[in-house]
Structure 1
Amino acid sequence: MNSEFTIAVHSMVYLANLPDRMATSDVIAHNVNTHPSRLRKVMSCLRKHGYIATKEGIGGGYMLNISPEQVNLSEIYRATSIGSIKPGWCSGNEDDACIVACNMAEVMDQIFCEAEKHLLHYLQQTTILDVLNRVRAAQQQKA
């Protein structure tokens, strides 16, 4: 899984927790602990999918374009990371005479596709609001 998913979820939860639900890329990047240009790339993806809106100029920034209870993590994963569970390299060689070597890439591809389907099903059960509530509960336990 790539880090864009984590950056996207963290950013959306952060915005959902703000009273006015708006922040600049520098502020969000600091909270996420990533570079602002990397954050802007992820936010651009979320904006293309309609989850984030932007306001230009003084007092501008990013804001949620949806209610936190309306979007689940499966949707965010699809927007930012679909296919990333499969590694870029797979062992084996389809030209090899060995049945293991010549079939391993195809079999592992099937396994990764099945794993991603299970992951999407699991993530579908959790919304941005659910993550925010978990963050708040974790904070209460620390207090």
Structure 2
Amino acid sequence: MLTIKQVEPLDGFRLRVRLSNGKTIEPCIAEYLDAPCYEGLRDSYLLAQVDEWGHAVEWPDDVAIGLEALYRLAREQAGKAYPVAAFNQWMRRNGLSANEAAKALGLSRRTIIYYHTGAKPIPPVVGLACDGYNARLKQAV
């Protein structure tokens, strides 16, 4: 099972996270800073107090971000995953439930839920499939 071995803060609200598989990711956590409980991380002193806890990074006052979320962020920011916000906008814009999105993309409902909640990185090919779905809708009109 993949775990965090070491974490260090970097400039620009980025973290260098060394993983148990020998890889290093550097996600920017800026999108978290407007969420309740995370606002304090705008303070560089507090941000620097980051520590690893195997499956998450954490700060004082029980503020944490899980490894899956960090990994997804790093992949999105590196252009290796389709952004969760864009996927959710696609579902809303087309009025699709999880079942309908699964049928449209040829995926399982569970996979759609993973993507919708950000629990798993969305492969770029799924973003292309969303674009293809939209193109087919335009052609049908």
- TM-score, normalised to structure 1, is 0.26
Greater Rg by CA:
1
Structure with the bigger percentage of helix: 1
- TM-score, normalised to structure 2, is 0.26
